[in-house]
Amino acid sequence: MKITSILIANRGEIAVRINETAKKMGIKTYGIKTSKEPNALYLRLVDDVIDFSESAEEIPEFLDIERIIEAAKTFKIDSIHPGYGFLAENPYFARRCQEEKIIFIGPSDTAIYKMGNKTIAKQIAMRHNIPLLQGSQGNVRNEKEAADMAEKIGYPVILKAASGGGGRGMRIVENATQIEKMFKMATGEAEKAFNDPSVFLEKYVRNPRHIEFQIVGDQHGNCIHLGERECSIQRKHQKLIEESPSAALDEKLRAEMGDCAVRIAKAVDYYSAGTVEFLLDDDRNFFFMEMNTRIQVEHPVTEMVSGLDLIELQIRIAEGQKLPLAQEDVKLNGWAIECRINAEDVQAGFSPNLGIIEKISLPRGKNIRIDSGVSDYSVVTPYFDSMLAKLIIHAETREKAVAATIAALKKCMIKGIKTTIPFCLKVMNNTKFRKADFNTSFIEKELDTLFHQEPEDEMLAAYVAAFDFAADLETDRITIVDFERGKNISPWVLNKRLKSL
Amino acid sequence: MKLIPKKKKKETQYIAVSTHGKKYRIVNPFSEELKINGRKEEVKIFEDNDGFTYLEYKNKKYLAEITEKNQNKFTVLLNGVSYSFTIESPISYRRRKYLEKYKQVSKTETINAPMPGKIIEMLVDVNAIVKEGDAILILEAMKMQNEISTHVSGKVIKINVRPGDNVTKDQVMLEIER
């Protein structure tokens, strides 16, 4: 069935991104307006806005399944794109869409369910001979069981929320003294974040690389992979910089891991876009971690090297179309790097930096792609995640991509809010990063500071402060004798005074 | 005939001290005679049509913004990184340095919320003896549970928050006596 309209059940840059492809395909788009962000950029771009802001419900807008379904029915919208986060990996939501004859642009509810529950996912992987880490065969029920299990497989171990993702409900346990405390914290966090306190335990691989494969499948049993993404630059399991391809893989390993990714997807009759995550250790052993049954934040790097539009593929697959290409048609070109620009204060432990973006100017140009969810005067609220935009660079080689990323980051101008740009610059300038010699502990181990700084920066900042302080003093003094000394006012002071009028 | 003595123009001087104690002596901030720490420097400040304020120094541009200003305390955001300073005249700087010698060292230290969030669990009680680096409470922010530890050793003398409380950034959560 051809899709003629899409309800975008998301916000921020991904709502903007989905809207862009939908419009290109001649599909009518609908956005959801919330009281938390009534002036958001995406609302200005979509064809029609459904207003959820007049009545406040207990359930957050983008998680309110029945309200979203109701809206789609009222406005006779064919399909819903969930983006990432919120309801993207909620099997019940996918099911409800199906029941109401609304096309869910994503995989089937059973595929979401099976892969979303990590315990089931692991069992499926095991059955299909996909390499796995040693760990609990199911959920760990209590502290005692966790301690026994950890003793058996050896410390360090990691506790993870069975329904988790994005680093929440994850705890590394170094030794037996910590296990009880960590178990409580992990279950508490899991309960809070996912409404499901169950956690499982597995061997923790130190210093692994995080490598994930983009796969796409159709509803006719075809499934291919579009190469990998290197997402090892993470802090507390939150990805900050991603690239494709990964310097750690060669053609042979890529084919081997890609084959595993496709096999696991096929095992659950997967269709739409999905991501299979692996850990890669120093000896190039890889282990299946989990599968994300949604479009990922970092999908643009794959789009840049593959030349494909993943949102378009998702829509076409949801319509029931066959994949337009086979595995051997996939050609990956050059190197792409993505930097996440988050409203976070890197100097204060990446704490959210809320406020108003007074002014934002991001670079444009050949091989520069900006996926942004904000504009001038956008408000950064505490209600949603802190990502503002993504800067994606495509170049022939990794070296050139890094150089181009540095140049582009220096042209990102944001006033009113602190962002992760100084952090991204710091990483790009790091020798080991440039040599592609890093793993998931890069941030803790390799960075002396978390932000980029030139030797003269502090002095210049001191000058700005002194200048402003002095200007205020001078203004006071000169106003009194203005008539006689009018001509003597320094241009700096005059400028300052004009501004304060 | 009278000889008119040529007035020597007085230098204006300011001392900026950063939070980690680095001192910058800035002479004549408005004129071309600008000197920073005794060196002649050429820095231009200008605003572009988009409303961004820039510095130009040695042919490089720097994005600058004053993000906080409270009397003589300034925070400047330069290329996305914050720098905080206290600005003083040389006289008040000398006076403060002199007085500091006699100032009492405060015995109580406060533990402030590093980010806005919600208190999930208190790991210590009043009168507990804590060591630097000990976890004292769990704070949830952006759906992540964070263990907050103390930066001083001593005795917990006051707890201002309870599990379930929402805290704002820099809110004093508890007080520790060294």
Q: Judge if A98 and A244 occupy the same domain.
A: no
Angle between helices A251-267 and A118-127 in degrees, nearest 10: 110
- DSSP H or E stretch at residue A70: helix A65-74
Q: Judge if A139 and A189 occupy the same domain.
A: yes
| pLDDT of A483 over the 50 cut | no
Is residue A385, in this structure, part of any structural domain at all?
yes
How far apart CA A27 and CA A3 sit, in angstroms, is 7
| pLDDT of B15 over the 60 cut | yes
DSSP state of A245: S
Is residue A366, in this structure, part of any structural domain at all?
yes
Q: What pLDDT is stored for residue B38 in this prediction?
A: 93
Contact partners, residue A351, CB within 8 Å, separation at least 6: A344, A345, B114, B115, B116, B141, B169
Q: Judge if A357 and A472 occupy the same domain.
A: no
Amino acid at A262: V
CA distances from B113 to B68, B141, B173, B175 (A): 19, 11, 6, 12
Is residue A110, in this structure, part of any structural domain at all?
no
Q: Return the CATH number at A56.
A: 3.40.50.20
Select from A351, A456, A492 the Cβ nearest to the Cβ of B114: A351
Matching residue, tokens 């969030």: B117
Say if CB B55 and CB B65 are below 8 A apart: no
Select from B24, B64, B77 the Cβ nearest to the Cβ of A459: B24
Is residue A126, in this structure, part of any structural domain at all?
no
E strands in A84-155: 103-104
Identify which has the larger pLDDT, A193 or A464.
A464
Q: Judge if A320 and A358 occupy the same domain.
A: yes
**A466/B66 Cβ within 8 A:** no
Any bridge partners for residue A458, and if so which? none
CA-based nearest residue to A8, from A307, A314, A360, A301: A314
Structure tokens at A29: 């788009």
Identify which has the larger pLDDT, A1 or A406.
A406
Is residue A112, in this structure, part of any structural domain at all?
no
Q: Judge if A467 and A326 occupy the same domain.
A: no
Q: What pLDDT is stored for residue A485 in this prediction?
A: 40
Contact partners, residue A444, CB within 8 Å, separation at least 6: none
Q: Return the CATH number at A156.
A: 3.30.1490.20
DSSP state of A26: T
Q: Judge if A16 and A144 occupy the same domain.
A: no
Torsion of CA B123, B129, B131, B136, to 10 degrees: 20
Give the highest mean pLDDT range of A55-69, A298-312, B15-29, B160-174: A298-312
Mean pLDDT of B21-29: 93
- pLDDT tens string A80-99: 999 999 999 999 999 999 99
- pLDDT tens string A286-313: 999 999 999 999 999 999 999 999 999 9
Range(s) of the domain holding residue A159:
134-203
CA dihedral over A62, A63, A67, A72, signed as positive or negative: positive
Q: Judge if A161 and A85 occupy the same domain.
A: no
For residue A189, list chain B residues with Cβ-Cβ distance below 8 A.
Answer: 144-145
Q: Judge if A161 and A147 occupy the same domain.
A: yes
Select from B64, B141, B143 the Cβ nearest to the Cβ of A193: B143
Torsion angles phi and psi, residue B119, rounded to 5:
-75, 125
Mean pLDDT of B156-167: 91
How far apart CA A494 and CA A496 sit, in angstroms, is 5
Q: What pLDDT is stored for residue A493 in this prediction?
A: 52
Q: Judge if A233 and A175 occupy the same domain.
A: no
Q: Judge if A442 and A477 occupy the same domain.
A: no
- pLDDT tens string A373-386: 999 999 999 899 99
Question: What is the count of structural domains for chain A?
Answer: 4
Residues of A labelled as active-site residues: 294
**B30/A467 Cβ within 8 A:** yes
Identify which has the larger pLDDT, B171 or A193.
B171
Is residue A129, in this structure, part of any structural domain at all?
no
**B74/A465 Cβ within 8 A:** yes
Domain limit, last residue, from A89, A105, A121? A105
Predicted confidence band of residue A482 (pLDDT cuts 50, 70, 90)? very low
Domain limit, last residue, from A446, A474, A492? A446
Q: What percent of chain A has pLDDT over 70?
A: 94
CA-based nearest residue to A438, from A427, A422, A454, A452: A427
Q: How many CB atoms lie within 10 A of CB A477?
A: 11
Q: Judge if A264 and A372 occupy the same domain.
A: yes
- pLDDT tens string B100-109: 877 666 678 8
The answer to whether A321 contacts chain B (CB < 8 Å) is no
Amino acid at A91: P
Q: Judge if A50 and A22 occupy the same domain.
A: yes
Mean pLDDT of A250-272: 97
**A463/B79 Cβ within 8 A:** no
Q: Return the CATH number at A294.
A: 3.30.470.20
Amino acid at A22: A
| pLDDT of A479 over the 50 cut | no
Q: What pLDDT is stored for residue A189 in this prediction?
A: 84
CA-based nearest residue to B114, from B158, B149, B155, B159: B149
Is residue A339, in this structure, part of any structural domain at all?
yes
Q: What spatial distance separates the first Cα and last Cα of chain A, rounded to whole Å? A: 62
The answer to whether A414 contacts chain B (CB < 8 Å) is yes
Q: What spatial distance separates the first Cα and last Cα of chain B, rounded to whole Å? A: 73
Domain limit, last residue, from A409, A424, A446? A446
pTM for this model (two decimals): 0.82
Q: How far is A133 from chain B (nearest CA, A)?
A: 25
How far apart CA A341 and CA A421 sit, in angstroms, is 6
Is residue A244, in this structure, part of any structural domain at all?
yes
In order of their start, the domains of chain B are 13-100 (no CATH), 108-177 (2.40.50.100)
Identify which has the larger pLDDT, B145 or B123.
B123
